[in-house]
Structure 1
Amino acid sequence: MSTPDENTKSRCPRCGELSAPGARFCEQCGFELRGRPTAEEILGAPPTEPIPVVTVEDPDPDSSVTPPPAPLSERDHFTEKPSSWVAGVCDRGVRHARNEDAMALAATGTGSAGGTAVLVVCDGVSSAPNSDVASLAAARVARDALVTFDPAGSLPVRGEVERRVADWTQAMVAASRQAGDAVVRTGDEIAREATASGQRGGIEVDPPACTFAAAVVDAGVVVAGWLGDSRVYWLPDDGTAQQLSVDDSWAQEMMAAGFTREEAEHSPQAHAITRWLGRSAPDHDAHCAAMLPEVPGWVLVCSDGLWNYCSEAEHVADLVHRLSGVTTDPSETAAALVLWANAAGGRDNITVALARVEPEPETAA
């Protein structure tokens, strides 16, 4: 395949980075290079406020929405549905050559009232080789650690909620540590194999690394854990949506310093993370948060391939409600969200994991 002539590329007016022909977003700083697609182009899905419909004359309308490339392997696009109320989709996206996102899901029971769900999403750091291998190992190790955990106490009735939350919080931190160890082991094994085969030639390379985001839904309790900028949201059918996680990123530091979310998330270093899993990480202890859903809704765990285009919790909730319609099938909704993100640009890998929460009236009370 020939290399496109540089004169045909788009130069970002914000940071000066050259982008591939037809690109609508700058890969360096995320600045929008071209007009947004119309609602019809976004697979018939109405856009949310962060992605408004804009009428722009496009000299090449056929390329304004690039369809996802055909998967080259199972790793490029895969779906998991361990139960009727838990499912997820992990996709390579439009612009990347490989899928460095990963997810691992598990669930018991036929619903959230009597079952337990584990959702783990890890996003491999693109600048470090073999992060796709490490992210998948981390997600599966964390899932298995959470699945085998047995919290003390019975269902969280009066006086036992705090104990259940504390147990799952400890389990979440332990799972993130095990996931971090898996990333380190993966990097060490790959390095040993490369050295033994003479592939490295004495050249030092960065060890693999990834983000971590996970949620446990258990008997009316939701516990979230994270390192990096993959996110956990609570999206009720009726009420205020919440981003349960708080990004470990440069953008979050900017918002803490007083910048607006739009300014921070479109800055050149917006996606520089301050915590991660890997050998170079200062620690592998997840930050955690918990809540008790009182109304039906969705627990969403996702990579930045989705929230790049829809960040605010209320906007994410609106998007999910529009795409899901009347269905409560998490696999259909997850697939629709991935297609929507690809149609909006697909400039990163996309992972969407969902658990449908429908608390029993007495549990919510």
Structure 2
Amino acid sequence: MSAEDTPTGVLAPCSTCGELPAPGARFCENCGSDVGPATVAAGGPPVLARPPVPALPEPPADLKPTDPPGDPAADPVPPPPVATHRPCTSCGGTVADDGYCEQCGEKAQVERDHWAERPAPWVAGVCDRGIRHARNEDAMALAASGDPATAGRFAALVVCDGVSAAPDSDVASLAAARAARDVLASGGPDGATPVTGDVTERIRAWQALMVAASTTANDAVLVAVGDKAERAEPPSCTFVAAVVDGPLIVAGWVGDSRAYWIPDAGTARQLSVDDSWAHELMAMGTPRHVAENSPQAHAITRWLGPDSTDPAARCAPTVPDSSGWLLVCSDGLWNYCSAADDLADLVRSTEATTGREPRALATELVRWANAQGGRDNITATLARFEALPASATSDNLHTDAVTGDEPATRAL
């Protein structure tokens, strides 16, 4: 959106559900009602406009848009799943079949709207619907064992973000996340085929398992969506995962969900490389703030789903030499804080308030993203990584090598 397209006041809420529509929207993203041509409430503070952006190359035709099409009448927003016969979180009353509390009348929260996982005291994640979307199409699945300060520690963090433009992508993302988690857990110390050897051998083994995890996740999507695979826009999702194995971290991805290494001090790094149109613009020299705010910025070049042509994860291993956080998240978080050092500042300042309990920290990161507008589903998963003694990392290499093809630069 250019500065000229931005209204000069505050958008009026939807008269049907009360949600605030997106700037310039004619239909409510939450309920699909007609909100008219960018009506604004009088007397409100100005809406900040994005800086004008230069002309950019046209994106290629084979991108997958991650936002829904602009005609809700042709593709209405599906209602959230109905939660029945559960206690109301507001008053403790009974939730009726229509999803509302029989006692206080409040709409019940669907379990998929917000949930947390904490497989070990040092690993946790929070997945949230956000504010704008009618349902949560993000998913996560975690596994962990061992003590965070020992060489026997293990964690697997998986996040999948359903493609909003393809209905039922919440089914795809959950199936993918759980299938990938199970494959990665098989290589942990309690798994069926534990990864062993020195750091170099473990890197090779985990890269192979990461590729197996993403392709197995793709197979799980095909099974989960059934005949929906025949749609013109079949259910699809992104994939990002990271494994902690003693001194080692291995990240893998398909799409634009991300893994970050955030040390307690020093320079943070994005471990993954987005498979997106925005990244390809940056590879051609476009500044980050321009690329990430351009049209089709979130169109992805790789994904999981029936129409995926390349579900094999690309991987990046690293052996951190300090303590810090492994963060695996969806774009509902990083949209508001994309650069690694900016996200590190957010994590560190939040940790100063919450302490080093990963579930509390993930909860506050999600809350912060909602406070910025919550325009997408939000998932934040964290593993606390403590630096190990040098004796535990005798093969102490430090690498950011990426397996598979390097990000393609299209001839446009």
If the length of structure 1 is used for normalisation, what is the TM-score?
A: 0.77
| Deviations 1:82-119, CA, capped at 9 Å, x for gaps | 00000000000000000000000010012153210000
Q: 1:345 aligns with which of 355, 369, 373?
A: 373
Question: Which structure is larger by alpha-carbon Rg, 1 or 2?
Answer: 2
Where does 1:172-211 land on structure 2 (aligned, <5 Å)?
172-188=210-226, 204-211=231-238
Match of 2:125 in 1: 88
- Are residues 1:34 and 2:71 paired? no
- Are residues 1:153 and 2:180 paired? no
Name the SS of the counterpart of 1:233 in structure 2. Answer: strand
Distance in 2 separating the partners of 1:351 and 1:250? 22
| Deviations 1:118-166, CA, capped at 9 Å, x for gaps | 0000000011111101100100000001101234434xxxxx2211111
How far apart are residue 242 of structure 1 and its match? 0.2
Distance in 1 separating the partners of 2:381 and 2:219? 23
Name the SS of the counterpart of 1:229 in structure 2. Answer: coil
- Are residues 1:266 and 2:304 paired? no
The 1:71–1:34 alpha-carbon spacing in structure 2 relative to 1, beyond 3 Å, is farther
Which one has the bigger helix percentage? 1
Q: 1:167 aligns with which of 205, 214, 219?
A: 205
If the length of structure 2 is used for normalisation, what is the TM-score?
A: 0.69
Name the SS of the counterpart of 2:112 in structure 1. Answer: coil
Name whichever of 204-213 and 271-280 sits farther off: 204-213
* Residue pair 1:112, 1:217 contacting (<8 A) in 2 also: no
* Residue pair 1:229, 1:247 contacting (<8 A) in 2 also: yes
| Deviations 1:22-74, CA, capped at 9 Å, x for gaps | x9xx9xxxxxx8249xxxxxxxxxxxxxxxxxxxxxxxxxxxxxxxx976211
- Are residues 1:293 and 2:320 paired? yes
The 1:321–1:70 alpha-carbon spacing in structure 2 relative to 1, beyond 3 Å, is farther
* Percentage of matched positions with identical amino acids: 55
User: In the alignment, residue 134 of structure 1 is paired with which amino acid?
Assistant: A
Q: Which has the higher contact order (CA 8 A, sep 6+)?
A: 1
Gaps of 5+ in 2: 1-13, 30-34, 39-45, 50-105, 188-192, 397-412
User: In the alignment, residue 228 of structure 1 is paired with which amino acid?
Assistant: G
Distance in 2 separating the partners of 1:167 and 1:247? 23
- Are residues 1:72 and 2:115 paired? no
Distance in 1 separating the partners of 2:22 and 2:380? 30
Distance in 2 separating the partners of 1:288 and 1:106? 19
Name the SS of the counterpart of 1:325 in structure 2. Answer: helix
Match of 1:115 in 2: 153
Name the SS of the counterpart of 1:75 in structure 2. Answer: helix
Name whichever of 71-80 and 84-93 sits farther off: 71-80
Q: 1:324 aligns with which of 351, 364, 369?
A: 351
Distance in 2 separating the partners of 1:263 and 1:10? 20
* Residue pair 1:151, 1:168 contacting (<8 A) in 2 also: no
Gaps of 5+ in 1: 27-32, 37-68, 155-159, 192-202
User: In the alignment, residue 241 of structure 2 is paired with which amino acid?
Assistant: A
User: In the alignment, residue 179 of structure 1 is paired with which amino acid?
Assistant: A
- Are residues 1:226 and 2:253 paired? yes
Match of 2:364 in 1: 336
The 1:71–1:333 alpha-carbon spacing in structure 2 relative to 1, beyond 3 Å, is farther
User: In the alignment, residue 143 of structure 1 is paired with which amino acid?
Assistant: R
* Residue pair 1:11, 1:19 contacting (<8 A) in 2 also: no
Distance in 1 separating the partners of 2:228 and 2:211? 26
The 1:11–1:92 alpha-carbon spacing in structure 2 relative to 1, beyond 3 Å, is closer
Q: 2:136 aligns with which of 90, 99, 120?
A: 99
